[in-house]
Structure 1
Amino acid sequence: MKIAEQVTFGGSGLDRLGQLRGQPDRIEAFWQEVTAAVLPVWRGKPLIAGSERNAIGLVATDHELVSLAAEAPVFLGLDRGAPRFSIDVSAWQPEELDDSTLGLFLDPSEQHFPGLPEDLRFTELRSVMSSLGPRDAELIATAKAVLSWHESHQFCAKCGEKTVPAMAGWQRNCPQCNASHFPRTDPVVIMLITHGNDVLMGRSPGWPEGMFSLLAGFVEPGETIEAAVRREAEEESGIRVGRVDYLASQPWPFPTSLMFGCWGEALNRAIVIDLDEIEEAMWVSREEMMKAFAGDHPVLKPARKGAIAHFILSNWLADRLD
């Protein structure tokens, strides 16, 4: 797709300066710059700013929040020349915390750290991702993915020893066996499967009522993207796929995926779903999908704005998949 990098979380061109991560003096110099700022993340929720909830929330490198980080900051890169870092402040315990919605698919709660401006709050990313600008979205996606990896990979996979962060947060080293570990990215195919004028849609258990999206699944070791599209489509819905074309990709920080958007041509129409994979699947005509996007469909709700599924479907409706 000619407009592929217009997808949320992609295309901002962040200068990550990966070649400097192994130079602690340079990273410390960035930390000391007057323009340096830190993106705090609390339990996977980034700090979001603005009354419209449409901007990244940043604090100074000497802010009280920074002292709550359990590990050294992750260097994200330069944002128009200004150094940007991120920290995990999950150790902070808000007063009178109502945790009944924490971890839900759509967590409506927001948390406010005392002393910060009222419009700076820790917010579930799914609720604001379509409102963010490209640079803020890339910074948040990067921070969430790397910090999530640190949280789940505290110990060496070779010997079990506790590892320590290195390379400005982009590596963990084992002091016992000297093994080095690096942030992981999980490849996922998400596919626009069409048959004539219809597109195949499915839903997973626990999704909001009426919400459907494109089928998706993880790429297995030793498998091409095209093969993964065909396997996942047949496993989940019984639909066999012939030709497969690549469309676009999207970093998906829930927690560390990279979505490969593809277009596949269905060879049959009979749906046989695997209830261990999805709850329901159906063919949806272009006309029905247009009603869903307009909010006029009696049952179907479109994929969430900001997700690559919404991006692909909207461009399919507009005949822009070239």
Structure 2
Amino acid sequence: MTNSNDMPLAAKPLDRAAHRRTDEAWLEKAMQDDASLFFLMRAGEPFVEKRGLFWMGPEARKLSPGSPVLFMGEDKTGAPVFAMNLPERFDVAASLIAGTGEFMDFRGAVGAMAEMEANLASTARSLFAWHSSHGFCAKCGGVVGIVDAGWKSQCQACGAEHFPRTDPVAIMLAVKDGKCLIGRQAMWPAGFMSCLAGFCEPGETIEQAAARELFEEAGIKCDPASAEYVACQPWPFASSLMVGLILEAETTEITVDKTELDEARWITRAEAREILSGKHSELYAPPPMAIAHHILKTWALRDE
């Protein structure tokens, strides 16, 4: 059975120790503690070595004084863990971390990380991206400042509080008569197929969003009541919660919305298994890091 707690980017989370976020005296002391741990991000990319994240102690703050720092939580020993966001123009070669690692594309980097590290990097990526694009108050337009150890911002003019957003996304597999529906966006490589997906709109449930998106993108009608929950996954592009569903289709004729998809097709369980195993002659699926892989696998490995 698929379990969200075991999903890549979600598994083995750190104790977030949220009660520490408002204790500024504790946080300042923690950032100077020799037992504290820091990892580095830059423009959404983690700084990694061969074994995963590159870890530093409090000397990390010397790399770029004043750069944003997030309190991520405490490890099993109680050591404070922080993420630091370095400037986009930060020169590794001219710094004290020269030769120790490199900034790497997120998708490529997390494959070499331990589960907890992948969760940390994913969380930090989402938070830093939110702060970088939400520097002004949505209420009065004033400049906001980062508070609560990076988990909130507050307007310096009107005092309004702003919290990092997570967008719910339905990612779903329509199924009927032993076949499932997969699709491909035009920007994706040839042969790369996945589940269909779309954002949940105000006033609708995630099941209703799934049924609406299936009809809008591929012309397939489904009853939201038929939706089966599979699992969910935090996805830091930019900050989404992917909610995986399987829905029973009521129709099979495909009408592709070319503004959303390049193509969509029905495949059998046998074909789905070939795709997942990398043995299909034409098609391939998202890797195990993505929830789409696990939704397709959940259905493909069921008995007929």
TM over 0.5: yes
**How far did 1:281 drift?**
0.6
Match for residue 252 of structure 1? Answer: 235
Match for residue 11 of structure 2? Answer: 11
Cα displacement string for residues 59-85 of structure 1 (whole angstroms, at most 9, x for unaligned residues): 2222366425533x1101112222111
Residues 215-226 of structure 1 mapped to structure 2, 5 A cutoff: 215-226=196-207
Cα displacement string for residues 287-308 of structure 1 (whole angstroms, at most 9, x for unaligned residues): 1122222222121011133000
Tell me, yes or no, if the aligned pair for 1:39 and 1:47 is still in contact at 8 Å.
yes
> Separation in 1 of the partners of 2:38 and 2:158?
32
3-state secondary structure, aligned to 2:279: coil
Cα displacement string for residues 140-193 of structure 1 (whole angstroms, at most 9, x for unaligned residues): 111001100100000111111111111111111111111111111011010021
Percent identity of equivalent pairs: 35
Q: Does 1:210 align with 2:210?
A: no
Tell me, yes or no, if the aligned pair for 1:47 and 1:120 is still in contact at 8 Å.
yes
Match for residue 33 of structure 2? Answer: 33
Match for residue 127 of structure 2? Answer: 146
Q: Does 1:170 align with 2:151?
A: yes
- Structure 2 CA distance for partners of 1:158 and 1:16, relative to 1, 3 Å: same
Q: Could you tell me which amino acid in structure 1 is paired with residue 214 of structure 2? A: A
> Separation in 1 of the partners of 2:298 and 2:71?
35
Among 83, 86, 89, which residue is 1:89 paired with? 86
Residues 37-116 of structure 1 mapped to structure 2, 5 A cutoff: 37-50=37-50, 54-63=51-60, 66-67=63-64, 70-71=67-68, 73-80=69-76, 81-94=78-91, 114-116=95-97
Match for residue 312 of structure 1? Answer: 295
Q: Could you tell me the TM-score, scaled by structure 2's length?
A: 0.92
Tell me, yes or no, if the aligned pair for 1:9 and 1:138 is still in contact at 8 Å.
yes
Q: Could you tell me the TM-score, scaled by structure 1's length?
A: 0.87
3-state secondary structure, aligned to 2:57: coil
- Structure 2 CA distance for partners of 1:278 and 1:2, relative to 1, 3 Å: closer
**How far did 1:20 drift?**
1.7
Match for residue 161 of structure 1? Answer: 142
Tell me, yes or no, if the aligned pair for 2:227 and 2:248 is still in contact at 8 Å.
yes
CA RMSD after TM alignment: 1.9
3-state secondary structure, aligned to 2:118: helix
**How far did 1:116 drift?**
2.7
Q: Could you tell me which amino acid in structure 2 is paired with residue 267 of structure 1? A: E
> Separation in 2 of the partners of 1:37 and 1:10?
20
Match for residue 191 of structure 1? Answer: 172
> Separation in 2 of the partners of 1:6 and 1:318?
18
- Structure 2 CA distance for partners of 1:89 and 1:214, relative to 1, 3 Å: same
Q: Could you tell me which amino acid in structure 1 is paired with residue 149 of structure 2? A: A
Cα displacement string for residues 224-273 of structure 1 (whole angstroms, at most 9, x for unaligned residues): 01100110110000001121011111000111011001111111110001
Among 119, 127, 130, which residue is 2:108 paired with? 127
**How far did 1:131 drift?**
3.7
3-state secondary structure, aligned to 2:59: coil
Tell me, yes or no, if the aligned pair for 1:46 and 1:125 is still in contact at 8 Å.
yes
Tell me, yes or no, if the aligned pair for 1:68 and 1:91 is still in contact at 8 Å.
no
Tell me, yes or no, if the aligned pair for 1:156 and 1:163 is still in contact at 8 Å.
yes
3-state secondary structure, aligned to 1:62: helix
**How far did 1:119 drift?**
5.5
Tell me, yes or no, if the aligned pair for 1:87 and 1:147 is still in contact at 8 Å.
no
